[in-house]
Amino acid sequence: MNWLETLRTASDAVRAHRLRSRLTMLGIVIGISSVVLTVGLGQGAQNKVRDQIDALGSNLLIVSPGSSTGSGGVRGGFGSASTLTLDDAAAIADEKVAPDVARVAATTSTTTSLTVDTTNWTTRIVGTTPTWQRVRARTLESGRFFTQAEVNSAANVVVLGPDTASELFGRGDPVGRTVTANGTSLTVVGVLAESGASSDDASEDDVAVVPVTTGQRMSGATSNAVSTVYVEATSAGSLSAAYQEVQAALLTAHGVSAADADFSIATQDALLETANSTNRTMTILLGGLAAISLLVGGIGVMNIMLVSVTERIREIGLRKALGATPSAIRRQFLLEASLLGLAGGVIGALIGVAGARVLPSLIDQPVSVSVPAITAALGVALGIGVGFGVYPASRAARLTPIDALRSE
């Protein structure tokens, strides 16, 4: 019996017991679809985090102040002190000090209510410099960004985020109109394009950006302290060098050692690794559950194939008496098990792909369709059919014709 005839015989045997075959494949279907969806959810979450971090700016270093200690000895978290200043940002921007730094943008941040006529909206007021737009990789939907001359003169101008503009002005173009913040009238000169990113639980599209000098005047600040300094490296390859240069410059300026640094520097890779650690843990956990489903499905295949061998002892004996070799018998039952595993894998993969299309609209979470994961899942399904079919096939091949023919 050649391979084609063996395959036809195996297919006929599977179709002869349709309900039993479907129930046997069910465990594999559930396992494979779970694998596809688990990998898709994990990759979708990681891609979402990566897109959000990339939206913060390219080749980015984020410098934050150190911690503060209150009068009662209570220590605040990182960023609670006022150890970074505009002078620090200027030092970092010096090409002689940090040649691998392309741009620097220092920022201050407060939460303020903006008012337009009878409409009000509470949002973040970010005071910064014109380089902020390039460092944070933001584009404009309309209008322009403020200039260095407006920073120098502490001009009353503001650039609104798209969400902020929508809340205050509806669908109208706010450029040229006025908003009031802390009693100060600000002229809207531009509206940022949507980024879809978020940081520190705040949307990057709900923000009002003003010149840093204007922000300091509005908040009544008497020092030139800043809350964050964003540093853009000249390229992705020079990010590590820029990190070392920024660290050395700030340690020198503050007169402290690395062990006593009153600031912290975060990179995009560090942010991405932190954000993805939980996603990987959940993916591994769900993948373990899917593996259990596949194991159960494989045991089901072996159980049904053992039943099939028991039911077909006389058939096996007759075929051996007519000249079928043990390898031909073994091949037939292995093909039957493989067909069950492969069919279950294909159906499970199709269900997984369909779920990846439907789930995002139900759970507001992207699900990626991974071709390598689907290919690997189909390979696993076929492997399960072969692996768990070896014992039943070997048992069938070991039967002697005389014992098989006289079996009732």
Amino acid in the structure at residue 76: G
What does the CA dihedral 295, 299, 301, 305 come to, rounded to 10 degrees? 160
Q: How many CA atoms lie within 13 A of 312 on its CB side?
A: 23
Closest by Cα among 391, 386, 381, 407 to 303: 391
Say if residues 368 and 355 touch (Cβ distance below 8 Å).
Answer: no
> How is the chain split into domains, by residue range?
3-52+276-405, 84-261
Could you list the pLDDT tens digit for every one of the 408 residues in the chain?
Answer: 566 777 777 777 777 778 877 887 887 888 888 888 888 887 787 777 767 666 665 688 999 887 644 444 444 444 445 789 999 999 999 999 999 999 999 999 999 999 998 899 999 999 999 999 999 888 999 999 999 999 999 999 999 999 999 999 988 889 999 999 988 999 999 999 988 666 555 678 899 999 999 999 988 777 788 999 999 998 878 888 999 999 999 999 999 988 888 888 888 766 666 666 766 777 777 777 777 777 777 787 788 777 777 777 777 777 777 777 778 778 877 888 888 888 888 998 899 899 888 888 888 778 888 788 788 888 888 888 888 888 777 877 777 766 656 655
* End-to-end CA separation in angstroms for the chain: 26
Q: What is the pLDDT of residue 251?
A: 92
Amino acid in the structure at residue 279: N
Q: Which residue's entry shows tokens 């200690």?
A: 69
Q: What is the pLDDT of residue 74?
A: 40
Q: What is the pLDDT of residue 320?
A: 74
Q: What is the pLDDT of residue 86?
A: 92
pTM higher than 0.85 for the full model? no
Q: What is the pLDDT of residue 404?
A: 57
Q: Residue 271 and residue 61: Cα distance in Å, rounded? A: 10
Q: What is the pLDDT of residue 155?
A: 95
| Backbone angles phi and psi of 21, in degrees to 5 | -65, -40
Q: Residue 284 and residue 169: Cα distance in Å, rounded? A: 46
**Cβ neighbour number for residue 358 with a 10 Å cutoff:** 11
Q: What is the pLDDT of residue 274?
A: 64
